[in-house]
Amino acid sequence: MILITGATGNVGRIVVERLAAEGHDVQALSRRPSQTEWPFGVQAVEGDLSDAASLGPALEGVESVYLFPAPGLGADFVAAAEAAGVRHVVLLSSGAVDDDLDVQDGPIATRHFEIEHLLRASGLRWTFLRADTFAVNSLPWGYQTKNGDEIRGAYAEAAAPVVHEADIADAAVAALTTEGHDGKAYRITGPELLTHADQARILGEVLGRPIRYVEIDVEQVRRQMGAFVPAPILADILKFWERSLEHPHAVSPDVETLTGHKARDFRSWVEEHADAF
């Protein structure tokens, strides 16, 4: 049986749908499983990844896990998974993790690196999906595009190989259901490097309006986003954007290597989510 954690999330929910549609024996973890309508054939189970003692029923009979890197997830989870007989973990990690650094830069890379380290040091087989900037991160822009043709934010020229969540899910399904992925860290990116300004332009092209990204002062952004994002995480994101002006993350071929299909572009994501903008 395959356990999908983060199963109500952007990626996990697609992983559940795909595996169920392919006829795999799937169990979905949620802290509140009764609040979700699950695909036919999916068994939902309650548990909290930050509380390994709550995961007994969820881990019973499980061979493979798609692991969402929940806050508070740690060595207790790994010990519980090993004790339950889990063999393989496919971790949703982050493209922020840098193998060249012993000490990771910032809380986002550090948190994912620590979970990777726990898995490397365990007796479990592991595969890491180091995902880059999710397309869904642009969803909050919908508030601005519903009220005008401008998206106001930091660093118009900050660039990332923005990735469609369905490609991360497809990569997870491949890593969970086919051989040859043990001990590998894949870089899961979209097919092209896009700046914030590029993303706004593509949004406008799909919506048929001249949407443009208007760069505003970083301190103003810090104040505005600070209402929603914890300060250390926000500082990390702003630093990532600033660094990407000179040193953006590269596009990786790993989605196609894993899934056999080309990575979906941002335009296709916008077409699927146009109502939100």
Residues that bind ligand NAP (CB under 6 A): 5-6, 8-12, 29-32, 48-50, 68-70, 72, 92, 94-95, 131, 133-134, 137
Closest residue to ligand NAP, judged by C-beta, is 9
CB 150 to ligand NAP: min, Å: 23
Q: Which is nearer to ligand NAP, 69 or 107 (CB)?
A: 69
Tokens matching residue 58: 């969820």
CB 148 to ligand NAP: min, Å: 25
CB 5 to ligand NAP: min, Å: 6
CB 46 to ligand NAP: min, Å: 9
CB 156 to ligand NAP: min, Å: 18
Tokens matching residue 53: 């003692």
Q: Which is nearer to ligand NAP, 68 or 277 (CB)?
A: 68
Please report, as a single letter, which amino acid is at residue 77: F
Q: Which is nearer to ligand NAP, 99 or 209 (CB)?
A: 99
Q: Which is nearer to ligand NAP, 76 or 149 (CB)?
A: 76
Q: Which is nearer to ligand NAP, 32 or 247 (CB)?
A: 32
